[in-house]
Chain A
Amino acid sequence: MTRDAAPRPDAFTVEVIRNALTAIAEEMSLVIMRSARSPLLREAGDLSSALTDAEGGLIAQGRDIPAHLGIMGSTVQEFLKRVPKSRLRPGDVWFLNLPEVGGNHLPDVKAIRPVFAEGAVQAFAVSLAHWADVGGARPGSYVPDARDAWQEGLRIPPLRLFTSAGPDREKLDLVVANVRGGEEREGDILAQMAATRSADERLQELLASYGAATVQAAIADIHDQSEAKMRAAIREIPDGVYEGEDFLDHDGIDDHPIAVRVRVTIAGEEATFDFTATDDAAKGPLNATPFTAGASVFYAMKAIAGPDIQPNAGCGRPLKVITRPGSLVHPPWSRPVVGGNHETSQRMVDAIFKAMERVVPERLSAGGSTTSGLLLFGGTDPRTGLWTTLYEVHAGGEGARAERDGGPTARPHMSNVMNTPAEIIETFYPIRIERQALRPGSGGRGRHRGGPGQERHYRILAPEMAMTSMVERTVIPPYGLQGGEPGLPFEIVVERADGRRTAISGKTHVTLHAGDCVIMKSSGGGGYGAPEQQAKGQERT
């Protein structure tokens, strides 16, 4: 590279290149949503796109899922430790899902494509997609009672599935043979490939019109700008050591809450997040990787300190994350992690919020549905004879804020996955949605009230379906802030065809039969400020 010789591009050029890079990442998400086959991708949008620099520093991301976006950089960095750049070729697309390769959990499969110009790798395009099934002990690859990593599904180390000559058929067949819904999965793999291809083409245009040296200089400048802004934002928070904790309901095996504890040190323009006091690694699948801890810290500080700062590797430079090996958020690689990705990652954000309540309460929202609220339905559709897996996440009420009530049913923090419309569920799965409505009275009281959760009723139409739950906030409810009351917790009830009703756990699996109905009630948001303040002349309905 001729980076040293590059003149520093003017501010206008940097601005154009910055926006072009973001547009490329956003377009990747559009390409995959439009061409993918599984409803989880094309309807719910459980996917993310990003560009990193040649060393794995995040440059630009789509408007996707923070839990994904926070591990894009570490995925490329760890990938490069296993696959040296000398082995990369133009047109390669490498797939992987191993959590230890900078990642989070097996269902989130990453496609990495090196982008070449002037004979060298200039950037990486990364397309992450949540596969509705990645093999393992149970349909949908969520095994609530898993005790090791191998029960959770097919483990894919960096594997070159495409070269410039096209797909590597044998490797592709090996992957597809080991997951359920093979044809749908192959369609999703092609869609991920297509997303990285579109990024490659657009980047080639950009590199050709400005030259690689100018683009690289602009990227360096973009990172520096975000770093400077994040440092300035941290300076505005009073120095000090702040501690916060929140709890997971249980890990699906041992029936007791698990503590997530953080010690936040704000010192000048740098911040350290020390999770050492968090409980030990769980037996069940609630463990989170240290890369996920980094994603949680990145999100929390963006949201609290710098919501307007362009998210890239520069934002992360003044942030330090400490995890204790052997703990819930730095487990041995043999431990299961599938739920930790979206449950424990959210609880880390909650712990950080509770730590920061002492200093910047006016910037925070009270507790929301910081869980995926995931229900997985698997079974053969009698209309087609084909196996189907519905992966559906449920939002609860938004936490209230200093200036307003919480809104109804919204995905908070690390997630932003959409619901699958009832009409799409009924078209593609042997399920009827009998009701989807708000859950009245579920928001916590306060000077401002938490938002209401929702109810959804799933009537089973197939002779038999398996259902798995991966739901938190069923025991420990979303918290209030500044004296506000907590919201109601999640509730899942199975009503059998004969009318018997059973409340079920947030981490279990049950067998359902035709006529059974699953009633899902999501949590309400926490209130903000003492409820008495509301009574004094600010009564709301």
Chain B
Amino acid sequence: MTAAWRVGIDIGGTFTDVVAVDGAGGSVRMGKVLSQADPVAGIVTACRSIGIELPAASDIMYGTTMATNAIVEGRLAPIALIATEGFAEVLDIGRQNRRELYKMAVTPRPEPLVARESRLEARQRMDAAGAELTPLTDAEIARLAAAVRALGVESVAVSLIHSYLNGDHEARIGEGLKGVVPFVALSHQLNPEPREYERTNATVMNAALMPLVARHLEQLIERLGARTGLHMFHSAGGMASAASIASRPLALALSGPAAGVAAAAAVARRLGLPRVISFDMGGTTTDVSIIVDGRMHIDSNQRMAGYPIRQMMVAVETIGAGGGSIARQDGQAVRVGPDSAGADPGPACYGLGGTQPTVADANIILGYIESGRRLGGSVQLDVARAEAAFAPLARAFGTSVQGAALGVRQVANANMARALRRVTIEHGVDARTCTLLAFGGAGPMHAVSLAREFGIGKVLVPRFSSGFSAFGCMTAEMNYAEQRPLHMRSSRWDATELASIAGRIAERLKEPMIKAGCAPESLRVAVAGLLRYTGQSDAVEVPLVAPYDVLATDRAFKATHERLYGFATDEVWEVDTLRVTVSAPPKQTLATLPAEAVAASTEPVARRACWFDGDQPRETPLYDRDRLPAGRKIAGPAIIADTWSTVIVEPGSTAWADEHAHLHIDLEGGRK
């Protein structure tokens, strides 16, 4: 019998990364292949590249930028919206404020995501107590269904006034649309909170993502078979079942980036690093996020492409600059990105047909990556092609190809510096006191020069840096969460009712986890309430502990309110929303992963000519990362590489590996 593999996969714009551990925990494999247009084929190829056929996987833990890219690039399916009569233009009016105070040239708000002619009004109405004011007739449902059919869309968002109190009309319209369209998103299920603009927008975005995500998951599950558990990494840094994702795909909005940040937070906690900037540079984009005291920054008030998203997501700053970013002349300046050569055709050095100069081509020209090296089986890097791509740029600026390559790297680094600035100093955190935790295919190649520019004294390149997001998927805590409105007031407290509701939700959440092989006794249930004084807008999260004593809850709420806002009163409060989370401890962590048994060696495996400034190349030793003994210091310039990653240790910096095989790089003159 084949070993049952637990497989973490991260599909990015350019590469698909895979990390797998066998069921016994005895062996770990890592691979990287070019992303494919068909993501299911991409997963199959990635697993095959490390000798795993899909049926041999017990669990697939999977993060993807599929939804992120669709939102950011505006590739959303055309949908219809059904709104309460008189409210079809809520999306145009928004909250009537403008996004820029002083920049009149900027449009006040982005365009609505549903064309006006695809918005229908339903004759029906609930009041503010959730009671039916105007009934919804069957004839009206039939009329709406016919109108939807005439529009020829395959997905419909339904967002009716006060549906968060009473979802009956939405549910009946949903029933009526069965057989008319394959996908329906109902606002009372997706975002059961008041405020019609934000709820409608979240519902519309879900509906517009459904065809893409649901079809993909369907194909993937068919391919995996029934015995493999499929878990999706969601935007708030945990796992959810494929079924729950198919019905709320907006939870994937930051799936890919969140996996990397979650893994970075785990490393920060383990090494006790108080302030970490997670710096994930891939082929197409770079994601930057701040981790303070080991905690990711989670924010439910974020926007993507200007639209309110309204769900818990890790706060990530994304910029369109990566290894595949294309450089071009713009008057007397050089611009890099945001367009990327992606996986197809890829940078010129891949030899897959790309002819435009990219950041990855610059790195091979400068000697940082060895020409002739193989990437993902099919790709063999070729410096001659990179140089040919850079020749026009070098001619235009009267410099050598190396000079042009250094210039392109500088511009790319400046782009990334702006993202670093946004996540640190704009939050009042001094970047110089942070550790730059660099991963992704290109991150470790740029981290040291970026750190120097910022005055950051310490760079950390974690083990599995090249497939770190896939690794994050595999080692993430499996947790499933559900929240529902409760509206229980302190003056009408019912502990028995609360316990019964929380218990039912917990049982429902445990089901897929037990099916995925978690021992029932290992599952932890956490119940929390979002509490507020009656009349307040934002609620504070307070843990609710059985037997749900009202006085204990009162004390906890007031203490939290006092801590956050500096005051608390004796007024009536209410549990607005109940949130139940069931989690299983991760089966793998960094500490439990097997170490590779290889003979240690501090001798350089080769020496190469590398350019670090405009004049002359420097003779630079190359070390094998897998064989570097813990604690041994390597002074720059040096290159430390393994099969998948290349770490540039620039002149003036010193690198050493710790006992977990993380690589630390200290910069001269930086704060420690």
Taking beta carbons and an 8 Å cutoff, which residues of A are in contact with B? 12, 15-16, 19-20, 22-24, 31, 33-37, 39, 42-43, 45, 63, 66, 183-184, 187, 190-191, 193-194, 197-198, 202, 206, 209, 299, 302-303, 306-308, 311, 363-365, 394-395, 398, 401, 403-404, 407-412, 416-419, 421-424, 426-428, 432-438, 454, 457
A23 and B427 form a contact (CB under 8 A): yes
Contact B108 A191 (CB under 8 A): no
Contact B104 A364 (CB under 8 A): yes
Indicate if B425 sits at the interface (CB-CB under 8 A). yes
In the bound complex, do residue A418 and residue B95 qualify as a contact, i.e. CB atoms below 8 Å apart? yes
CB-based contact B104/A411 at 8 Å: no
Q: Which of A183, A395, A401, A432 contacts B96 (CB 8 A)?
A: A395
23 residue pairs from A and B, CB less than 8 Å apart = A16-B425, A23-B427, A34-B565, A35-B561, A35-B565, A36-B536, A42-B537, A63-B101, A66-B101, A187-B533, A190-B565, A194-B566, A299-B102, A303-B104, A401-B105, A410-B98, A418-B95, A419-B95, A421-B95, A424-B194, A424-B195, A428-B535, A454-B96
In the assembly, what is the distance between CA of A17 and CA of B565, in Å? 24
Check if B86 is an interface residue, CB within 8 A of chain A.
Answer: yes
Query: Which A-chain residue is minimally distant from B95 (CB atoms)?
Result: A418
Assembled-state Cα–Cα distance A194/B567 (Å)? 7
* Interface residue B197 (Cβ < 8 Å from any Cβ of A): yes
CA–CA, A469 and B161, complex, Å = 27
Residues in chain B near residue A193, CB distance under 8 A: 566-567
CB–CB B455/A12 < 8 A: yes
Given the known interface contacts A302-B102, A424-B194, the answer about A437 and B455 at a Cβ–Cβ threshold of 8 Å is: no
Interface residue B93 (Cβ < 8 Å from any Cβ of A) = yes
Asked whether B2 is an interface residue with its Cβ less than 8 Å from the other chain, the reply is: no
Please tell me if B73 contacts chain A, counting CB pairs below 8 Å: no
Q: Quote the shortest CB–CB distance from B293 to chain A (angstroms).
A: 15
> Nearest 10 CB-CB pairs, A to B?
A42-B537, A410-B108, A435-B86, A34-B538, A20-B428, A426-B128, A395-B96, A418-B95, A19-B425, A35-B565
**Which residues of B, 390-427, contact A by the 8 Å Cβ criterion?**
421, 425-427
Which residues does chain A contribute within 8 Å of B537, judged by CB atoms? 33-34, 36, 39, 42-43
Chain B interface size, as a band, is 35 or more
Q: Which residues of A contact B104 (CB under 8 A)?
A: 303, 307, 363-365, 401
CA distance A412 to B108 in the complex (A): 9
| A363 to B421 alpha-carbon distance, docked (Å) | 30
Q: Which of A307, A365, A395, A408 has the most CB of B within 10 A?
A: A408
Q: Are A404 and B425 in contact (CB under 8 A)?
A: no
| Residues of A with C-beta under 8 A to B197 | 421
Residues of B within 8 A of A202 (CB): 428
* 17 more CB-based (< 8 A) A-B contacts, given A184-B535, A197-B566, A299-B102: A16-B425, A16-B430, A19-B428, A34-B537, A35-B561, A36-B537, A37-B535, A45-B97, A202-B428, A308-B103, A407-B107, A409-B94, A424-B194, A424-B195, A426-B162, A436-B87, A454-B89
CB closest residue in chain A, given B104: A365
C-alpha gap A310/B478 in the complex (Å)? 45
Contact with A along B94-129 (1 / 0, CB 8 A): 111110111111011100000000000000000110
**Residues of the A chain whose Cβ atoms lie less than 8 Å from the Cβ of B430:** 16, 209
> Bound complex: CA of A407 vs CA of B431, how far in Å?
39
Closest to A32 in B: B565
Check B565–A194 contact: CB distance below 8 A. yes
Q: Pick from A45, A394, A410: contact of B109, CB below 8 A.
A: A410
- Write the nearest CB–CB distance from B225 to chain A, whole angstroms: 45
CA distance A24 to B428 in the complex (A): 8
* Residue in B105, B195, B536 whose CB lies within 8 Å of A421: B195
The reply to whether A419 and B536 contact each other, CB–CB distance below 8 Å, is: no
**Is B196 an interface residue, CB under 8 A from the partner?**
yes
Given known A184-B535, A190-B567, A411-B96, contact A426–B127 (CB-CB < 8 A):
yes
A-B contact number at CB 8 A: 162
Q: Write out the residue numbers on chain A whose beta carbons fall within 8 Å of the beta carbon of B94.
A: 409
Write out the residue numbers on chain B whose beta carbons fall within 8 Å of the beta carbon of A20: 425, 428
Q: Does B88 contact A (CB under 8 A)?
A: yes
> In the complex, which residues 60-107 of chain B have their Cβ closer than 8 Å to any Cβ of chain A?
86-90, 92-98, 100-105, 107
User: B197 CB to closest chain A CB, in angstroms?
Assistant: 6
Tell whether, in the assembled complex, residue A437 and residue B97 are in contact, meaning their CB atoms are under 8 Å apart.
no
Bound CA span A436–B95, Å: 12
B residues at A contact (CB < 8 Å): 86-90, 92-98, 100-105, 107-109, 127-128, 161-162, 164, 194-197, 421, 425-428, 430-431, 455, 533, 535-538, 561, 564-567, 569, 571
Q: How far is the CA of A306 from the CA of B161 in the complex (A)?
A: 42
Q: Which of A12, A35, A457 has the most CB of B within 10 A?
A: A35
Q: Contact at A416–B97, with CB atoms within 8 Å?
A: yes
A504 to chain B, nearest CB (A): 22
A409 and B425: CB pair below 8 A?
no
**Minimum CB–CB distance for B128 against chain A, Å:** 4
Among B96, B102, B427, B567, which residue has the most Cβ atoms of chain A within 10 A? B96
Min CB distance A485 to B, Å, is: 20
A424 to B537, CA, bound (A): 10
Q: Is the CB of B89 within 8 A of A438?
A: yes
| Residues of chain B contacted by A435 (CB below 8 angstroms) | 86-87
Per a CB cutoff under 8 Å, which of B88, B421, B427 touches A437? Answer: B88
- Chain A residues lying within 8 Å of B161, measured Cβ to Cβ, are 422-423
Residue of A nearest to B195 (CB): A421
Contacts of A432 in B (CB 8 A): 127
Bound: A31/B567 CA distance, A: 12
- Contacts A42-B536, A438-B89 given; indicate if A423 touches B97 (C-beta within 8 A): no
Complex CA distance for A299 and B95, rounded to whole angstroms:
22
In angstroms, how far is the closest chain B Cβ from the Cβ of A254? 31
State the CA gap A424–B107 with chains docked (Å): 27
Docked CA distance A270–B249 (Å): 55
Q: Which residues of B contact A438 (CB under 8 A)?
A: 89, 92-93
| Residues on the B chain within 8 Å of A15, using CB | 425
B428 contacts A206, C-beta separation under 8 Å: yes
A450 to chain B, nearest CB (A): 13
Task: Specify the chain A residue showing the minimal Cβ separation from B164.
Answer: A423
**Are B86's CB and A436's CB within 8 A?**
yes
Chain B residues, Cβ within 8 Å of A395 = 96
Residues of B within 8 A of A403 (CB): 105
Q: How far is the CB of B401 from chain A (nearest CB, A)?
A: 33
Task: Please determine whether A423 and B128 come into contact, CB atoms closer than 8 angstroms.
Answer: yes
B129 to A, closest residue via Cβ: A383
Are A454 and B93 in contact, CB atoms less than 8 angstroms apart?
Answer: yes
Shortest Cβ distance from residue B542 to the other chain A in the assembled complex, whole angstroms:
15
Output the nearest chain A residue to B100 by Cβ-Cβ distance.
A307
Residues from chain A with Cβ under 8 Å of B100 in the complex:
307
Contact assessment for B533 and A427 in the assembled complex, using a CB-CB cutoff below 8 Å: no
Q: Is the CB of B101 within 8 A of A416?
A: yes
Closest approach, in angstroms, between the C-beta of A165 and any C-beta of chain B?
A: 14
Q: How far is the CB of B26 from chain A (nearest CB, A)?
A: 48
A427 and B194: CB pair below 8 A? Answer: yes
Docked Cα-Cα span, A190 to B567, in Å, equals: 7
Instruction: Please report the C-alpha to C-alpha distance between residue A307 and residue B106 in the assembled complex, in whole angstroms.
Output: 11
Q: Shortest distance in angstroms between B194's beta carbon and chain A's nearest beta carbon?
A: 4
Chain B positions within 8 Å of A401 at CB level:
104-105
Q: Is the CB of A31 within 8 A of B102?
A: no
From B103, which residue of chain A is reached at the shortest CB distance? A307
Asked whether B108 lies within 8 Å of A407 as measured between CB atoms, the reply is yes
Bound-state CA distance A418–B537 (Å) is 15
Bound-complex Cα distance A418 to B97 (A): 5
In Å, the complex CA distance between A209 and B426 comes to 17
Contacts of B92 in A (CB 8 A): 408-409, 438
The residue from A33, A198, A206, A427 contacting B566, defined by CB atoms under 8 A apart = A198
Could you tell me the distance between the alpha carbons of A421 and B91 in the complex, rounded to whole angstroms? 12
In the complex, the answer to whether A409 meets B427 with C-beta atoms within 8 Å is no
CB contact between A22 and one of B93, B164, B426, B571 (< 8 Å): that residue: B426
In the complex, chain A residues whose CB is within 8 Å of the CB of B196? 421-423
Closest to A300 in B: B102
